[in-house]
Amino acid sequence: MDNKVLWSAEQINIPQDLGSIIKDYTKKIIREQPKDTYKWSANYFAGQCGLPTPFPEGEEEDLEETDNFIPPLVIVGPSGVGKSTLVEKLMKEYPSYFGFSVSHTTRAPRENEVNGVHYHFTDKETILSKLNNEEFLESAEVHGNIYGTSYDSVQKVIRGGRCCILDVDVQGAQQIKRSNLRPVVTVFVRPPSIQDLEQRLRSRMTESEDKIALRVSNATKEMSFMNDKQLFDHVIINDDFDRCYSEFKNIIETKILPKSKSN
Ligand SMILES: Nc1ncnc2c1ncn2[C@@H]1O[C@H](COP(=O)(O)OP(=O)(O)OP(=O)(O)O)[C@@H](O)[C@H]1O
């Protein structure tokens, strides 16, 4: 532990009204949602005991607080709704503004997949130890394999001066929202109706009827979260593609690009 903290801990006299301090601490930590809970708490309790702040603000360079921080874009929506089509068009229009993080996975590489490019191919033990060390922003188990996005891989994209696009499911978005990475911009893309989505999946001709049925049933579950205002900053309807793209682009230009390369 940091010497400064040990030094502070030795000098704390337990105040009389501990209950009200704990109440105040709980209220403030929920309201402020500090990025580093440990440092924030140490500062809070030192302040309560009249001790010097062990971690004064602005002492360290913090990626999220520098001018270089470009909010990642978290895009969510049922399979077949048109997320990839929207992102592809955006990346064509702004070729050097966006990037994807490289995920970790325990699944075996397929032919032509390159380690560190398509995925970081990792064994189960390593990935579990990284999960335990809270190195992942989000993770999921799919068909017996673990997949995860590390903070490090997202920060590499941010440090490269790009907006990191995270195409994830509802659970992934929930984990990202609970993580220390912020701000992020979350967009839910919804179909005009479940029937439209089914039609779109069928005309994409990439899925069997069984898979289409599964995707449609998952879509209903995913859409039950779309009005959660804590989770999604924006909900857009992919009805007419050009109209939807222009709404999507407007969100990106106003919420993401002004903080990065457009100014
Ligand atoms: N507004 C639209 N109207 C009609 N078809 C559309 C529209 N937007 C996208 N599509 C088509 O719908 C199909 C699914 O789109 P896309 O592959 O981008 O979905 P996705 O959300 O990325 O799916 P997945 O999550 O499975 O990768 C594609 O064939 C695409 O051309």
pLDDT digits (tens, 9 = 90+) for 34-66: 777 888 888 888 877 777 777 776 544 444 555
Residues 6+ apart with CB under 8 A from 131: 139, 146, 148
Q: How is residue 111 written in tokens? A: 């032919």
pLDDT greater than 90 at residue 217? yes
Cα(123)–Cα(105) distance, rounded to whole angstroms?
8
Query: How high is the ipTM of this complex?
Result: 0.94
* Confidence bin at 12 (pLDDT 50/70/90): low
Q: Where are the alpha helices (DSSP H) in the chain?
A: 3-11, 18-32, 37-48, 83-93, 124-132, 151-159, 170-178, 194-204, 209-223, 241-255
How confident is the model at residue 148, as a pLDDT?
Answer: 95
Nearest CA to ligand 1 atom 10: 82
Active site residue 190: no
Are residues 102 and 119 in contact, defined by beta-carbon separation less than 8 angstroms?
yes
Pocket test for ligand 1, best of 74, 76, 84 (most atoms within 8 A of CB): 84
The CB of 99 under 6 Å from ligand 1? The reply is: no
DSSP H/E element including 234 = strand 234-237
Residues linked to residue 46 through DSSP beta bridges, in sequence order:
none
Q: Closest ligand 1 atom to the C-alpha of 86? A: 18
* pLDDT for 152: 93
Q: What's the DSSP call for residue 156? A: H
pLDDT at 142: 87
User: What per-residue confidence (pLDDT) applies to 202?
Assistant: 92
C-alpha span between 55 and 168 (Å, rounded): 35
Instruction: Confirm if 166 and 176 have CB atoms less than 8 A apart.
Output: yes
Whether the CB of 246 sits within 6 Å of ligand 1: no
Decide if pLDDT at 233 tops 70.
Answer: yes
pTM: 0.74
57 Cα: distance to centroid of ligand 1 (angstroms): 45
CA of 81 to the centre of ligand 1 (A): 5
Q: Whose CA is nearest to atom 28 of ligand 1?
A: 204
Which residues lie below 8 Å from residue 146, measured CB to CB, with a gap of 6+?
Answer: 104, 105, 106, 124, 127, 128, 131, 139, 140
